[in-house]
A = this chain, B = another copy of it.
Amino acid sequence: MDHSFKGKDIISIKDFTREEIEHVLDAAETMEPILSSGSEMLGGMVLATLFFEPSTRTRLSFESAMLRLGGAVIGFAEPKTSSVEKGETIADTVRVVENYADIIVMRHSLEGAARLAAEFSSVPVVNAGTGAEEHPTQAMLDMLTIRKELGRIDGLNIGLIGDLRYGRTVHSLAYGLSLFDVKLFFVSPEVLKMRQEVVEDVRRRVQVNETGQLESVLPVLDVLYVTRIQKERFADPAEYAKVRGVYRITRETTKSMKEEAIIMHPLPRVDEISADVDETRHARYFQQARYGLLLRMALLALVLGAID
């Protein structure tokens, strides 16, 4: 079987089959020993990180992944330091930067921006988050976390909780998980319900349960995937105030959970998960960062042809 990731753009989780995703997760597991031993697998290669929107973890995660494999990094962390300020199009930026780098990782506030970049770029483009649309590498690292921490993805009851409307992470993750044999629970306030097209698409493959009540589904969930309700998404502060604390997970909450259930969060969190949960057996949100590094090492190595 030829997965041929070499030279491939990573734009949407929808571009991948279950087999391809599992291949990436397998590759990520092989990266673990390299964290201590080091590697020169991508020696001489250059990654460009074009972050038109600020980010800490995603940018640093990709940069660390590239450096751990012996590669080098150029890039910018905010548009003000770039030619975008002078009115340049994405297409032009990409056609310049492709000369400086072997692979481009890009975050942008506009949906479709990474796809557009990939069309113009002669080097592979990896989508590191576009608007409220997609964040495919986050979805993959989340699936890796589930598989490693619970031993499998098939057969699990997985709850996505919080802002399902604007959270790009949950869009990609719902699509990705629907390729497995799971039951999905979308838990959100009415105004932040999962986009209808995502629900319809996912429902074609797996059972989906939409609810506003976390308590009602809490006892059956194997995975609680909690997201931040983003203040900046609300025009009306009163609307935000109404929903912000609605699914706050505390140590008390965890008592209604299955013994083995895990709590995940793409981070940063504000107060959706209280600090007293951090030390419980359920918390996995800091481990996600580590899996993210492994996943991105694997993706870079695959796309740049250093591994198959």
Contact = CB atoms under 8 A, between A and B. Distances in A.
Interface string A84-122: 111110011101110111000000000000000000000
Number of copies: 3
Given A64-B101, A82-B54, A268 B77 contact: no
Contacts of A63: 74, 100
A301 interface: no
A196 interface: no
A270 interface: yes
A259 B87 CA distance: 31
B60 A81 contact: no
A156 to B, nearest CB: 24
B96 A289 contact: yes
Contacts of A39: 44
Interface in A255-287: 267-270, 275, 286
A221 interface: no
Nearest to A84: B56
Nearest to A36: B44
Contact of A100 (B61, B76, B92, B95): B61
Given A60-B74, A60-B75, A100-B61, A86 B289 contact: no
Contacts of A57: 83, 96-97
B92 A267 contact: yes
A165 interface: no
A64 B45 CA distance: 10
A67 interface: yes
A100 B35 CA distance: 10
A52 B294 CA distance: 27
Nearest to A269: B92
A231 to B, nearest CB: 8
Contacts of A78: 80-81
B77 A81 contact: yes
A55 interface: yes
A43 interface: yes
A233 interface: no
A295 to B, nearest CB: 12
A46 interface: yes
Nearest to A61: B100
A135 interface: no
21 contacts: A38-B43, A39-B44, A46-B67, A46-B68, A51-B81, A54-B80, A54-B82, A56-B81, A56-B83, A56-B93, A56-B97, A57-B96, A60-B100, A76-B77, A83-B268, A86-B230, A87-B268, A92-B267, A92-B268, A92-B269, A99-B292
